[in-house]
Amino acid sequence: MKEEYDFTQGRRGPVIPSPGKTRITIYLDNDVLDAFRDMAEASGSGYQTLINKALREYLDKPGYIIDEMALRRVLREELERGGKDE
Protein backbone atom coordinates (compact mmCIF):
# COMPACT_ATOMS: atom_id res chain seq x y z
CA MET A 1 0.00 0.00 0.00
CA LYS A 2 1.30 3.46 -0.87
CA GLU A 3 2.13 5.87 1.91
CA GLU A 4 0.32 8.66 0.12
CA TYR A 5 -2.46 8.69 -2.47
CA ASP A 6 -3.46 11.48 -4.85
CA PHE A 7 -7.15 12.33 -4.46
CA THR A 8 -7.04 15.66 -6.29
CA GLN A 9 -9.16 14.23 -9.11
CA GLY A 10 -11.40 12.25 -6.75
CA ARG A 11 -15.14 12.72 -6.48
CA ARG A 12 -17.59 11.67 -3.80
CA GLY A 13 -20.30 9.22 -4.68
CA PRO A 14 -20.84 5.62 -5.66
CA VAL A 15 -17.99 3.84 -7.34
CA ILE A 16 -20.33 2.36 -9.93
CA PRO A 17 -23.25 4.62 -10.89
CA SER A 18 -26.68 3.00 -11.08
CA PRO A 19 -28.56 4.29 -14.13
CA GLY A 20 -32.11 5.32 -13.26
CA LYS A 21 -31.40 5.49 -9.53
CA THR A 22 -30.57 8.41 -7.25
CA ARG A 23 -28.86 8.23 -3.89
CA ILE A 24 -30.80 10.11 -1.19
CA THR A 25 -30.87 10.46 2.57
CA ILE A 26 -34.21 9.73 4.22
CA TYR A 27 -35.38 9.50 7.82
CA LEU A 28 -37.60 6.52 8.63
CA ASP A 29 -39.11 5.43 11.91
CA ASN A 30 -36.90 2.85 13.60
CA ASP A 31 -39.67 0.24 13.71
CA VAL A 32 -40.35 0.66 9.99
CA LEU A 33 -36.68 0.26 9.12
CA ASP A 34 -36.35 -2.74 11.46
CA ALA A 35 -39.33 -4.40 9.78
CA PHE A 36 -37.83 -3.92 6.31
CA ARG A 37 -34.46 -5.21 7.48
CA ASP A 38 -36.11 -8.29 8.98
CA MET A 39 -38.05 -8.93 5.75
CA ALA A 40 -34.87 -8.45 3.73
CA GLU A 41 -32.96 -10.93 5.86
CA ALA A 42 -35.75 -13.49 5.52
CA SER A 43 -36.01 -13.05 1.76
CA GLY A 44 -32.30 -12.74 1.03
CA SER A 45 -32.60 -9.36 -0.65
CA GLY A 46 -31.61 -5.86 0.40
CA TYR A 47 -33.83 -3.75 2.61
CA GLN A 48 -33.49 -0.75 0.29
CA THR A 49 -34.74 -2.91 -2.58
CA LEU A 50 -37.79 -3.88 -0.51
CA ILE A 51 -38.49 -0.25 0.42
CA ASN A 52 -38.24 0.72 -3.26
CA LYS A 53 -40.61 -2.11 -4.19
CA ALA A 54 -43.13 -1.06 -1.51
CA LEU A 55 -43.04 2.55 -2.72
CA ARG A 56 -43.46 1.45 -6.35
CA GLU A 57 -46.45 -0.75 -5.45
CA TYR A 58 -48.03 2.18 -3.62
CA LEU A 59 -47.52 4.50 -6.59
CA ASP A 60 -48.90 1.93 -9.04
CA LYS A 61 -52.22 1.68 -7.17
CA PRO A 62 -54.91 3.65 -8.96
CA GLY A 63 -56.07 6.54 -6.85
CA TYR A 64 -59.79 6.79 -6.27
CA ILE A 65 -60.93 10.34 -6.83
CA ILE A 66 -64.52 10.87 -5.80
CA ASP A 67 -66.39 12.88 -8.39
CA GLU A 68 -69.96 14.16 -8.38
CA MET A 69 -71.40 10.97 -9.87
CA ALA A 70 -69.64 8.75 -7.34
CA LEU A 71 -70.79 10.96 -4.48
CA ARG A 72 -74.39 10.85 -5.73
CA ARG A 73 -74.23 7.04 -6.00
CA VAL A 74 -72.91 6.67 -2.45
CA LEU A 75 -75.55 9.03 -1.07
CA ARG A 76 -78.30 7.23 -3.01
CA GLU A 77 -77.15 3.85 -1.64
CA GLU A 78 -77.03 5.20 1.90
CA LEU A 79 -80.49 6.75 1.60
CA GLU A 80 -81.90 3.47 0.27
CA ARG A 81 -80.45 1.64 3.29
CA GLY A 82 -81.98 4.24 5.56
CA GLY A 83 -78.53 5.06 6.94
CA LYS A 84 -78.53 1.82 8.95
CA ASP A 85 -75.35 -0.15 9.48
CA GLU A 86 -75.56 -3.74 8.39
Per-residue pLDDT of 27-53, as tens digits, reads 999 999 999 999 999 999 999 999 999
Domain holding 43, by residue range, is 28-62
In a domain, 44, yes or no: yes
Mean pLDDT (the chain) is 86
- Structural domain total, the chain: 1
For the chain, percent of residues with pLDDT exceeding 90: 37
State the pLDDT at residue 83: 57
Please state, in angstroms and as integers, the Cα–Cα distance from residue 72 to each residue in 20, 37, 67, following that order: 43, 45, 9
Residue 56 C-beta-side C-alpha neighbours within 13 Å = 6
The pTM of the full predicted model, rounded to 2 decimals, is 0.56
In a domain, 54, yes or no: yes
In a domain, 42, yes or no: yes
Cα(31)–Cα(8) distance, integer angstroms: 41
State the pLDDT at residue 47: 96
Sign for the pseudo-dihedral over CA of 49, 50, 55, 56: positive
State the pLDDT at residue 28: 93
In a domain, 45, yes or no: yes
In a domain, 17, yes or no: no
